[in-house]
Chain A
């Protein structure tokens, strides 16, 4: 009865890549393996369990920040304030525990709360005042940075109670030392990834980033989704603060000033579109690890840190170029 047969869908094979739900992590994954292969040929110490555990330790904090950053970028936003929110969180945790003598678990809770509230403020400014995320988080970057400096008086906080540095401790697995913080990071990626891909709110987040007007018309409360995303991201930055305390071993007054860009770098290298709605969270972890692998490999090859930074920059541009090129082809 259908007189008009609909146009035949394009050949299966041609479309195979674009149909793979996780195709956006494929590129970064290949890049990661190539990088590992390359550096393994350059340095005998590179392809070792201890080196990889070291890389993961170095990636841990930015990796967790990148989770919150990913959530926000998936909604077509951006967060420039995540590093300093983390810095404020860890300062609250450290100072209240050491100087006010509050129980560490309570100060952890308070630090998480402060970070979550910062996220909430971002969310309110984006959804209620309707300011662009770039402007909101740029403003918050400066405000929170100032707050950290006022609150800490430029002094770092030492001799933390062990509970605050727990995630800097490790267990040994053959000759690799695995930080509890790394375990927590991977766990966070797993949980948030699952919620993004399999829960209704997770799918709504993608829809809001992909086509906000369509999302609204299908009855998704887009503003509420955004508010939740910024608030949840703040909470995740609070967790990053806890990991930072573990890694550094003290409350740092100068922490968090460049991690915003590092987290964006990880997200972008991980194949997540800055225009929102496309990409997979695991990509951000791969992106963060790629940066870590390059830093480690280049160090072992004897290149100075300026060269590492330079190459990171090239990587970002390359990642986005490849991403756009593949999209145009699809």
Chain B
């Protein structure tokens, strides 16, 4: 995997795992999702489709229903209408925990780490490895050594250069913290990783570091849903772009064949999807 990636590291390679012409299998789908908050309709019958081995960016103006869509997919809210399918099976999430049990991991914008605790502890927070033995299980004694080893191995796999997993997360830079959060999701996700604005608060260098990390997660075979406001970042790593507008999916475009300005035009309603040229839709 690593080798395959390194051959392509020079240019922004896209759709790595999708053979040309062949249609990749959908991992997660949604149809006709509706979510109302009182008078406000946040989702107005939106559709959604995430394919195997891809980075799908979700973009949209404020109020387009982007975060409502992601909340529905990650179990944080329950849609009023519509259907969500995971691997072709209809599914109903009642809580984020529910979604996690189905292998969907979400990295929230505010990172959700415990800053005073170590990296290893944060990676395994809420899912600690317990020591074997009946007594240890009864008192739920954690296996610190094993968690430390696993954390070190996992972070090395993802090439996150942090020296000691015993370091408190608060001693890390913003990008490294994001790295820890993404690594945690990648470690436990069986199906889907959802990243909410992972590069929002980062400088250029650290932002790129996180983008590389997201590609590595995808290359390990986990499809990624990336919510971002940052168009250059979206175009740098997305395989397809889901454009959310007025509570619906306006279009799914192929970043290889469409310009950034056309994408923004659809997002803002300045252009209709049917005005796009051939090959621009994905």
Seen from chain A, the residues whose Cβ lies within 8 Å of a Cβ on chain B are 1-7, 9-10, 15, 18-19, 21, 195, 198-201, 203-204, 206-207, 210-211, 213-215, 217-220, 277-278, 330
- Name the residue on B nearest A195 (C-beta): B139
Which A residues are CB-close (under 8 A) to B166?
A: 19, 21
Query: Does B61 have its Cβ within 8 Å of any Cβ on chain A?
Result: no
Number of interface residues of B (CB under 8 A): 47
Task: Known contacts A6-B162, A19-B164; decide if A201 and B140 are in contact (CB<8 Å).
Answer: yes
Complex CA–CA separation, A2 to B113 (angstroms): 25
Complex CA–CA separation, A206 to B125 (angstroms): 11
Query: Does B127 have its Cβ within 8 Å of any Cβ on chain A?
Result: yes
CB distance from B212 to the nearest CB of A (A): 6
- Name the residue on A nearest B96 (C-beta): A217
Partner of A200, one of B111, B128, B161: B128
Task: Known contacts A4-B205, A6-B175; decide if A210 and B117 are in contact (CB<8 Å).
Answer: yes
Q: Are the CB atoms of B159 and A211 closer together than 8 Å?
A: no
Query: Does B209 have its Cβ within 8 Å of any Cβ on chain A?
Result: yes
Query: Does B29 have its Cβ within 8 Å of any Cβ on chain A?
Result: no
Which B residues are CB-close (under 8 A) to A1?
A: 2, 5-6, 9, 159
Complex CA–CA separation, A176 to B110 (angstroms): 55
Q: Are the CB atoms of B142 and A203 closer together than 8 Å?
A: yes
Complex CA–CA separation, A1 to B106 (angstroms): 27
- Contacting A at CB under 8 A, from B209-254, are 209, 212
Which A residues are CB-close (under 8 A) to B258?
A: none
Partner of A211, one of B115, B163, B205: B115
Our count of residue pairs bridging A and B at CB distance below 8 angstroms stands at 110
Which B residues are CB-close (under 8 A) to A9?
A: 162-164, 167, 171
Q: Are the CB atoms of A198 and B115 closer together than 8 Å?
A: no
CB distance from B168 to the nearest CB of A (A): 7
Query: Does B276 have its Cβ within 8 Å of any Cβ on chain A?
Result: no
Q: Are the CB atoms of B127 and A219 closer together than 8 Å?
A: yes
Complex CA–CA separation, A199 to B138 (angstroms): 10
Can you list 30 residue pairs at the A/B interface with Cβ under 8 Å? A1-B159, A2-B159, A2-B161, A3-B9, A4-B206, A4-B208, A6-B161, A6-B173, A6-B176, A7-B173, A7-B175, A7-B206, A9-B162, A19-B166, A19-B168, A195-B139, A198-B141, A200-B130, A201-B140, A204-B125, A206-B116, A207-B126, A210-B115, A210-B116, A210-B117, A214-B112, A217-B96, A217-B106, A218-B112, A220-B125
CB distance from B209 to the nearest CB of A (A): 4
Complex CA–CA separation, A201 to B126 (angstroms): 9
Complex CA–CA separation, A159 to B179 (angstroms): 65
Complex CA–CA separation, A219 to B126 (angstroms): 6
CB distance from A9 to the nearest CB of B (A): 5
Q: Are the CB atoms of B100 and A4 closer together than 8 Å?
A: no
Which A residues are CB-close (under 8 A) to B113?
A: 211, 214
